[in-house]
Chain A
């Protein structure tokens, strides 16, 4: 990528992140090519950023470039954000084939960022062959990432043993690969045992994919090699045609859902300041007016 192209990419991503729902709906859509999308989620402090920085070089084997999106929470009070995850990715700083971009979650309540599906499509059109996406540190709620990626990694650390219960009906059922980071710490063995039992319950449900458990102490080469191989194995599994169609439908549904839920916020903010104090029929009329006229149709 030339410096000019890279600068243009950065600006395109900013415009997409800032776009309103109706702006997104009117964007020209590019072709349906494919770029591998790998999600990395897990509770705060699990070691997601460090893992990505170690894994990224391993994933950089083929021809194409690699993009990394790191999402951090927006402060609900100021609307600002500290985007600090790339500090832990400094070993990638001289790698010209890797593009790292930090995103604030903004209006998004699902551990992702506004217009993420369109941002991913843009990366694809710029020729990236693979994107790694780090979600906001989360466990229970962040299911949206499942629909937007081909392969979902759940990163846990031995100290998070008590969080497993809370995640059982949730991200644990959705992840494709479990990664135990900081596996040299006490409790790793117990965590493996718990994950195995979770996995057994899953296979009864007939998902058809048995999530491997990969242990990594400090992202050492051997474990990253294994993880990269498991990702390839899952990619091969998921691109089987009928599963691929299912995944595409899920992706589309999530894309539309995220736009619609943002629209809710836009409508709320666009209501006249005193609308919520008016009688209910007045409020309904104000909502109807705003729904009919998103101000940009």
Chain B
């Protein structure tokens, strides 16, 4: 097995962030650990962060990607605000991913806003890692 297969995210820095008001971060934590096990350096923000704060941390930490975990239903607003804040801080090139409960009918809109991939709770972690590694390579 090559090192690349064992650590497909080696050398990547990823911010796992929880914007908005929902208070559940077990999913985000599980994903953060899986990213670490895939070789990434993972910055985790903790719960209920504003999009402005998330963008600030993403730029200051010079991450390759931001993963937004959103279960609250207000994904449209939170994604739009995060993208705008990243742009304002010079981090418009940082890739944004969304995970959580995103109804299929909203996914197209998020992708049109510039979100690279949407990961729903039905996906296996292995698939999330594989798709992320592909998107960041």
Task: Tell me the A residues contacting B by CB distance below 8 Å.
Answer: 3-4, 6-7, 10-11, 13-14, 18, 74-75, 77-84, 86-87, 90, 93, 99-102, 104
Q: How far is the CA of A86 from the CA of B89 in the complex (A)?
A: 19
Does B133 make an interface contact (CB < 8 A)? no
Min CB gap B48→A, angstroms: 10
Find the B residue at minimum CB distance from A74: B41
Question: Is the pair B40, A93 in contact by a Cβ cutoff of 8 Å?
Answer: no
A79 B42 Cβ-Cβ under 8 A: no
Q: For chain B, give the interface size range.
A: 20 to 34
Q: Which residues of A contact B42 (CB under 8 A)?
A: 80-83
How far, in whole Å, are A93 and B6 apart by their CA atoms in the complex?
35
Besides A10-B62, A14-B62, A80-B35, 7 more A-B contacts (Cβ < 8 Å) are A6-B59, A6-B89, A79-B7, A84-B43, A86-B57, A90-B46, A102-B61
Q: Decide yes or no: A83 and B7 within 8 Å by CB, A13-B62, A102-B61 being known contacts.
A: no
CA A56 to CA B98, docked complex, whole Å: 33
B6: min CB distance to chain A, Å = 7
Cα-based distance from A6 to B7 in the complex (angstroms): 30
Is there contact, CB below 8 Å, between A7 and B35? no
Residues of B at the A interface (CB closer than 8 Å) are 6-7, 9-11, 13, 32-33, 35-46, 53, 56-57, 59-62, 88-91
**Cα distance A3–B92 in the bound complex, in angstroms:** 12
In contact, B61 and A82 (Cβ under 8 angstroms) = no
Cα distance A84–B62 when bound, in Å? 15
A93 to B60, CA, bound (A): 11
Query: Would you call A80 and B60 a contact (CB within 8 A)?
Result: no
- What residues of chain A lie closer than 8 Å to B39, measured between beta carbons? 78-80
